[in-house]
Amino acid sequence: MAFKAAAEVLAAIAFAAAACAVASAQGKLGRLVVTGVVPCNTGTLIDVASSSPFPDAKVELRCGGGAVAGATTSQNGSFAMEADVASASAVAALVGACELVVDTPLARCDARLPAAGRLVSDVQQGGQLIGRLLDGALRLAPAGFSFRMA
């Protein structure tokens, strides 16, 4: 089972590297596209469907500790961000070295919630990886936001 998962990750990395090489030869490196909804809640793996949305929150995609892209949520808590990426960032996203971080205090969406802390989510691939890479975009989504004290 572990071998199969490792083989799938290696195949995805090889395919991402090949896609980046082709895009680079064509003069463009490709894009990371991240879409999702930020909940106004605390807890672990917060259910977006049963939580109020978090409007006007600043969301950052951080890979290896550095900000790659950012967005502000709409009134319904949804966000979309896009970034041109080098192959290293695409590979980092594939192997789980990226996360979404919301530093905006939860007290801004609900005064009963803590003023300190942040929401954090790993990212996951949306849809079929091969189809997503062929259109020049690696599409990602939150795996599930969790509250962390700062």
pLDDT tens column, 52-92: 999 999 999 998 888 889 999 999 999 999 987 665 555 66
Structural tokens at position 48:
């977006």
Cα–Cα distance between 97 and 99 in angstroms, integer? 7
Q: What is the pLDDT of residue 137?
A: 78
CA–CA gap between residue 5 and residue 75 (Å, rounded):
38
- Residue 80: phi, psi to the nearest 5? -145, 135
User: pTM of whole model > 0.85?
Assistant: no
Q: Give the domain ranges of the chain.
A: 2-148
Which residues of the chain are modeled with pLDDT < 50?
A: 6-7, 9-12, 14, 19-20, 22-27
102 secondary structure, DSSP code: E
pLDDT computed for residue 92 by the predictor? 64
**CATH top-level class for 2-148?**
mainly beta
